[in-house]
Amino acid sequence: MKYALILAVTLAGYWLTLSGYFHKPLILFFGVVSVLFTLGLAARMKILDKETVPYLQVPKTLSYFVWLFNEVVKANVAVAKAVLSPELKISPSLIEIPTHQDSDIGKTMFANSITLTPGTVSVDMQEDGILVHALLSEMANPDDFIEMGERSGWAVGETIDIDGAHKDG
């Protein structure tokens, strides 16, 4: 019920913001009908849960994006130095990065964060790991991805310690 209410408020706010109609009863009625229809579909598909309605995690996710932006800038500088160097010091490699997230959205956030970081690309996802292509050998250490894995899990509501054991959170 909590997720249905959160989704209803979010959809109604989004609809009002985009439509701009606050004083025409017929159009407001159609907005209410469309929100209720969407809620009905979501309830019928049994997808009203924490993963489908992640709006309670927005502050955590935004703070994660600030941290990720800093990591992207640092990796961008490292890649630019390697590529612009006269010796072209690139050393591509494939590595397996373990994942400790339980949810699909946690694993997806982690894989997308890896791909967003210059010099690394998520190539394949398995149940317990992500195959990553790294442009530089110093970017190919699986231990360097631990903090990103923990933070990406935290951003979607999971708390993971270094050993992959889940904490309450």
Residue 161, judged by CB atoms within 10 A of its CB (0-12, 13-18, 19+), counts as exposed
Split into its structural domains, the chain has a count of 2
Residues 133 and 79 occupy one common structural domain: yes
Instruction: Give the Cα separation of 81 and 65 in Å (integer).
Output: 24
For 22, the token pair is: 């606050």
**Domain hosting residue 87, numbered range:** 57-155
Instruction: Give the Cα separation of 132 and 92 in Å (integer).
Output: 10
Instruction: Give the Cα separation of 111 and 132 in Å (integer).
Output: 9
| 160 inside domain | no
| 166 inside domain | no
| 51 inside domain | no
Residues 94 and 24 occupy one common structural domain: no
CB contact burial 109-141 (16+ within 10 A = b; e otherwise)? bbbebbebbbbbbbeeeeeebbebbbbbeebbe
Residues 101 and 149 occupy one common structural domain: yes
| 168 inside domain | no
Instruction: Give the Cα separation of 166 and 159 in Å (integer).
Output: 6
Query: Over its length of 169 residues, how does the chain's per-residue pLDDT go in tens digits?
Result: 888 998 999 999 999 999 888 888 999 999 999 999 999 999 999 988 877 777 778 888 899 999 999 999 999 999 999 888 888 878 899 999 999 888 888 899 999 999 999 999 999 999 889 999 999 888 888 888 999 999 998 888 887 664 545 554 4
| 9 inside domain | yes
Residues 64 and 104 occupy one common structural domain: yes
